[in-house]
Chains A and B, each alone.
Chain A
Amino acid sequence: MTTNSTTHPEVGQFAMARAQWRWPEVVFWLAAAGCILLFPNRYLILTEIAWLALFALSLDLILGYAGIVSLGHAAFFGFGGYAAGLLALHGIVTEPVIALVVAGLAAMALGFVTSFLVMRGSDLTRLMVTLGIALLLRELANRFSNITGGSDGLQGIEMAPILGQFSFDIFGKVGFIYCLCVLFVLFLLARRIVHSPFGLSLRAIRNNPLRASAIGIPVNRRLIAIYTIAAFYAGVAGALSTQTTALASLDGFAFDRSADLMLVLIIGGTGYLYGGLIGAVIFKLLQELFSTLTPQYWQFWIGAVLVVIVLIGRDRMHRWALFLPRLIASKFGRAKTPVVAPEGEAP
């Protein structure tokens, strides 16, 4: 990382103080680990929550921290998914963890190449270009059906044991623990990134690109860097989904997936790392609820949730959601909650 943070000691101290671990964070991860023991027959949905959380984390890195709107984040998810599927199917890389990294790197390369297209133009152009890239990849995957299996997807993927030790079991326990570990490791990395001077410069860019460039931040290079990193995260999420479900399909690229992802992040809140994680949990629970109520039409209620959230206002909703934690925190004499200021405010 380049050191372009200001030399004021207070600023540095403030930034470092924010980067410290606090007890709610520890509780969160202990609870996540506790799920392994608490819900022994819900591993499949827990696994889905884990990779969805990773995917949302990836979008949060570009949307919440760098302010890049994207309607086509599924491009990297699908790409990573297919990469992992092909690696396992043709026996190129059989060990899941290495395959995961390779798939992530493949998505990362794609992210790096496409980032140059995304850097241009306004929000609207970005929305269009990202959407276009995802559609383009879906179309490609559909056309080259001899490689990707077309609309049937990649089938018959068999996964080798993780690290040569733990083979995937039928209940999905190993799969869930695997996903959770990957999520935790990548979360730590993301946490390190956003609290570094690099991460602070991203927030400066999000709040005002013009001012950020005026104080000497190379805006485009920073955005390309974070876009590429986010593509890696999304690729890993896609690969995890392929490895745990033993299936990669065209669905990975679908517009619905990008749109659902937006919803996940909006429910959880943008601009702090737990947003995507909490959002993934709530989204999956909502989806379960709606699909038990109306199996065929759950998407209606998902749409309704989106409309209501936007009409209420995202900031206001998060203020309500934080009311109780803040109250508790103030009772216990702790002034600060681990939740970072809402989007649009200078941190």
Chain B
Amino acid sequence: MTLLTILFDGVAYGMLLFVLACGLAVTLGLMNFVNLAHGAFAMAGGYACAILVNRAGLPFFAALPIAFVVSAAIGAVLERSLYRHLYTRSHLDQVLFTIGLVFMSVTAMDYFMGSAQTFIHLPDYLQGQINLFGLGVGRYRLMIIVICGLLTIALQMILSKTRFGSRLRAAVDDPRAASGLGINVPQVFALTFAFGCGLAGMGGALGAEILGLDPYFPLKFMIYFLIVVTVGGSSSITGPFLASLLLGIGDVAGKYYVPKLGAFVIYTMMIVILIWRPNGLFGRTAAR
């Protein structure tokens, strides 16, 4: 494994984390809502994709958008029915509520799907390696980089060019002033929440191969999503994006160079960064 391969794998991993976590960044930035259950939506998408591909025999690329829709729908329903009651509550209440949701989703998945790791049957053209400029890269990881890269660009375009994007940015910057200007902040938020959950679901489906998919997914990766958001700051999506890349590369490199320490590197990095800059590396203001 060369430095370039580590970099490549790290970037693929980081991009995946970004797609998984960017919904969380918006939730936190917009409504100041600590959603520890974000991983549950990713898991839902992953399992939806696995069922569609493995049992119904759908092609992988057809199942990805469906995974998105399934997670987004679950997210929208939960947002309208449960989450919206908790926006004004304390962080402690939000944390307790979402931990409860995590426990429920973990055991429910365990009940329905079994506790073993689930694999998604990949088409042949996504397996193995190809030679890219003299560098052997995994096709699957290349696909992840391409898809996630396109998604990131699309997200950035939506945020900066469309009317909805400017509404969202206004609402993140100052919800009160935004609603004073006639922006329907709860609606913007509900849409964004559902969209973020959808992205997480798609990320879960894409990441099943790399991250592994089992009922404990929400617990295992909760800390990673939180690192992305807290380190990246929640005021833009550039921050979380850079933080995800940093985390992805750091994790892959850490596991390769100092395998004995494992996840130790990541946790230490997070604590140090949070001590140094409590609002995140790229955050502008304190979480309101």
Contacts and interface: CB of A to CB of B under 8 A. Distances in A.
A229 interface: no
A149 B35 CA distance: 35
Contacts of A133: 271
Given A136-B267, A263-B96, A125 B274 contact: yes
A303 B100 contact: yes
Nearest to B85: A311
A306 B86 CA distance: 13
Interface residues of B, number: 45
A309 B101 CA distance: 12
A124 B91 contact: yes
Nearest to A128: B230
Contact of A139 (B28, B89, B267): B267
Given A128-B270, A310-B93, A303 B104 contact: yes
A300 B103 contact: yes
Contact of A266 (B96, B106, B261, B275): B96
B103 A306 contact: yes
Interface stretch (A114-122, A153-161, A326-334): A114-122
A109 B249 CA distance: 34
Contact of B262 (A63, A139, A304): A139
A132 interface: yes
A140 interface: yes
A8 B111 CA distance: 61
Interface string B218-231: 01001100110010
Nearest to B231: A128
Nearest to B226: A128
19 contacts: A69-B91, A122-B287, A124-B230, A125-B274, A125-B278, A129-B275, A131-B223, A132-B274, A139-B262, A255-B219, A262-B96, A296-B110, A296-B111, A297-B111, A300-B111, A302-B100, A303-B101, A303-B104, A306-B96
Contacts of B286: 122
A309 B95 CA distance: 12
Nearest to B288: A122
A121 B287 CA distance: 9
A163 interface: no
A314 B92 CA distance: 11
B260 A143 contact: yes
Interface string B233-260: 0000000000000000000000000001
Interface of A: 63, 69, 71, 117, 120-125, 127-129, 131-133, 135-136, 139-140, 142-143, 255-256, 259, 262-263, 266, 296-297, 299-300, 302-307, 309-311, 314
Given A129-B271, A136-B267, A139-B264, A306 B278 contact: no
Given A71-B95, A132-B274, 5 more contacts: A128-B226, A256-B219, A306-B97, A306-B100, A310-B100
B2 interface: no
A143 B82 CA distance: 40
Contacts of A117: 271, 275
Contacts of A307: 82, 97, 100-101, 104
Nearest to B270: A132
Contacts of A122: 278, 286-287
A126 B239 CA distance: 20
Contacts of B26: none
